[in-house]
Amino acid sequence: MEESINRGEFQPNLAKQTSLRLGGSLKSTLSGRSSPRNSPTFRRLNSGRTPRRDGRSSLGGALWFRSNRLLFWLLLITLWAYLGFFVQSRWAHSDKKEEFSGFGTGPRNTGSDAEQVQRRDLRASDNSLSANNETDTSIAGASKTINVALAKKGNDVPSNRKTSSKKRSRRRRASKGKSSGKLKQTTEVKNSDIEEQEPEIPTANNTYGVLVGPFGPVEDRVLEWSPEKRSGTCNRKEDFARLVWSRRFILIFHELSMTGAPLSMMELATELLSCGATVSAVVLSKKGGLMSELTRRRIKVVEDKADLSFKTAMKADLVIAGSAVCASWIEQYIEHFPAGASQVAWWIMENRREYFDRSKDVLDRVKMLVFLSESQSKQWQKWCEEEKIKLRSYPEVVPLSVNDELAFVAGIPSTLNTPSFSTEKMMEKRQLLRESVRKEIGLTDNDMLVISLSSINPGKGQLLLLESVSSVLEQGLLQDDKKMKKVSTMKEGISTMARKHRNRKLLPMLKNGKVASNDILSRRKQVLPNDKGTIQQSIKLLIGSVGSKSNKADYVKSLLNFLEQHPNTSKSIFWTPATTRVASLYSAADVYVINSQGLGETFGRVTIEAMAFGLPVLGTEAGGTQEIVEHNVTGLVHPVGHPGNLVLAQNLRFLLKNQLARKQMGVEGRKKVQRMYLKQHMYKKFVEVIVRCMRSK
């Protein structure tokens, strides 16, 4: 009993001692102290079958992970953010979100958006090719009817996509079947992108005139320079460059036609990019041919014109809308992001009441309105007063300018000039370009080429211009008829004199008759040189822009019908496609006409471009034209409407007779452009808009 009791007392004590020893050894081990190798504790801790592991490697890995776990967390957050952005972007751009998420019940569309665009482009190209084939057939048949849709030359973005051989063979068989039948009266174009159709002007048909150009390859060959070779043109020393550097801008294009507003917005985007800004473009309507040019200039186009464009605009420092047509987008953007109205500058480039009515509900919500001319600004402020619209700030006037490329070719100092392309050398090359283009058109030195480049619609007044040119040509024909009658009368007088003196001696009479006829002919030759300096030149008219999406089909038909009724006039008419390469046309021309009707041209970008090339301008006495063209100094003005036809014809006849007056007016116009309408003048005025509207950092 005692042994058992003692044994029971001993076991708890032994347990206590063992626990104390283990605790002490554990504490010593954790504290980093080591026991002597011959101590009982060391022998007990290292007496097992499993050898002792060195804890330095495992503890070192844990400590390394603990010291760098911030890096792991950042890496994990980055991957998670990228995954979220990828999923969100796919969701936003997907037309069928259910299919994207994997819960769609219907069959998935395996074709991508690019393939759908490919099919649309192929259908459009096939339709235009069939239209061209029927045009050639109608010309061969001497048909005077307008029976095909106008093919857009030089406007569309070239497609690098290829069709399968089966589709091509089917198209060939279909085209053969069509050609074997009767000629069709009309051709239907099924391309949904073409909003309105326009009668085609055949390339060779005396009924309507001749289609010439574009002359881009001629420019490249003669000038030995092309716009593709251009580099950054920003003047870093100007205030404009310092303000826009590292800023974000959103530019709103209402369309991509080759007209004033889209071209001006494109050049503004180019200048912002060259000055170090970040630029994105929102295109409300992709009709027109500037998409390829935007791509060439590396201007990023936002694919979506709704939510994605609104989100992009919210992050921008300034939003610039380039037309009154942008009213709907601005209204939706302000509803989506009300605070963004303070960073919207609205550059309005139209001057008709219909555009005001379209945008009047948003005019007082944007930060600032920007106009092109004083007359336009006063007109819109008058309409605002009538509608009791109070603007947030006083509008700014920023006129357009001649871009660097045209100024460079015109021989005006620009940022593109180099020692090998000085202004003197460019003047020489411009003269060579003039001779080459005129030779290709078929003009002589006695032809006065009058050009008018704009979209073909009633507001531009091309039909009234044709009537004025026709009256000049008809008057010239009447004068030629009178001269021919005088010559025939002279010949009859000579024959009568010869009959009267028939009974005289043959030799003296023949001699006298020969002297008399030579005398009369010499008198006629003395009269003609006097007329040659005044009226012997003939007038030729070149009209653009054929194929522009801003053209009105009914108005184009009225022009062609007029030429059909006046065949003598049609012999002096040329047409040219819509193009951005207009330096060759300005170089070949002698006179420019801007015949805008109604309230007149808002500003007239083509007016200052023509003046830069030394052309006198004949314009209507309305709108921005009367602010640019000084009567009897840089050109001649005439009233709008039919009353102006007679005055315009007189002005054309005056310039036709007076070459010195043409040259003098051209020189004065060129001086005015160098004084007021170059790039640095426009962006100097744009600085005020940026300061007042742009978000401050």
Instruction: Report if residue 436 sits inside a domain.
Output: yes
| pLDDT above 90 (res 493) | no
Choose among 326, 242, 264, 298: nearest CA to 690.
Answer: 242
- Domain coverage including residue 433: 418-476+536-677
What is the distance between the alpha carbons of residues 624 and 605, in angstroms, rounded to a whole number? 10
Counting the structural domains of the chain, the total is 2
Q: Same domain for 443 and 364?
A: no
Q: Same domain for 380 and 466?
A: no
Q: Same domain for 393 and 450?
A: no
Instruction: Report if residue 270 sits inside a domain.
Output: yes
Q: Same domain for 314 and 456?
A: no
Instruction: Report if residue 129 sits inside a domain.
Output: no
Q: Same domain for 438 and 297?
A: no
Instruction: Report if residue 160 sits inside a domain.
Output: no
- Look at residue 696 in the predicted model and tell me its pLDDT: 63
* Predicted confidence (pLDDT) per residue in 382-411, tens digit: 999 999 999 999 999 999 999 999 999 999
Instruction: Report if residue 291 sits inside a domain.
Output: yes
Q: Same domain for 442 and 556?
A: yes
| Per-chain mean pLDDT for the chain | 75
Pairing of the two strands 209-211 and 617-620: unpaired
What's 645's domain CATH number?
Answer: 3.40.50.2000
Instruction: Report if residue 355 sits inside a domain.
Output: yes
Q: Same domain for 383 and 450?
A: no
What is the distance between the alpha carbons of residues 609 and 670, in angstroms, rounded to a whole number? 9
Cβ pair 588, 449 in contact under 8 A: yes
- Look at residue 583 in the predicted model and tell me its pLDDT: 95
* Predicted confidence (pLDDT) per residue in 312-346, tens digit: 999 999 999 999 999 999 999 999 999 999 999 99
What is the distance between the alpha carbons of residues 306 and 380, in angstroms, rounded to a whole number? 28
Q: Can you say whether residue 407 is alpha, beta or left, with left for phi > 0 and alpha for psi between -120 and 50 degrees?
A: alpha
Instruction: Report if residue 592 sits inside a domain.
Output: yes
Q: Same domain for 446 and 340?
A: no
What is the distance between the alpha carbons of residues 30 and 42, in angstroms, rounded to a whole number? 14
Q: Which comes out higher in pLDDT, residue 141 or 689?
A: 689
Mean pLDDT of all residues in 58-87: 74
What would you report as the CA-atom Rg of the chain, rounded to the nearest whole angstrom? 40
- Look at residue 686 in the predicted model and tell me its pLDDT: 93
What is the distance between the alpha carbons of residues 446 and 572, in angstroms, rounded to a whole number? 13
* Predicted confidence (pLDDT) per residue in 266-298, tens digit: 999 999 999 999 999 999 998 888 999 999 899
Q: Which comes out higher in pLDDT, residue 306 or 518?
A: 306
Q: Same domain for 395 and 335?
A: yes
Cβ pair 573, 543 in contact under 8 A: yes
List the beta strands (DSSP E) in 374-517: 396-397, 447-453
Q: Same domain for 566 and 613?
A: yes
Q: Same domain for 270 and 395?
A: yes
| pLDDT above 50 (res 445) | yes
Instruction: Report if residue 137 sits inside a domain.
Output: no
* Residue 391: strand, helix, or coil: coil
What is the distance between the alpha carbons of residues 200 and 519, in angstroms, rounded to a whole number? 53
Q: Same domain for 387 and 428?
A: no
Neighbour order of strands in the sheet with 204-205: 204-205, 209-211, 573-577, 538-546, 447-453, 591-594, 617-620, 635-638
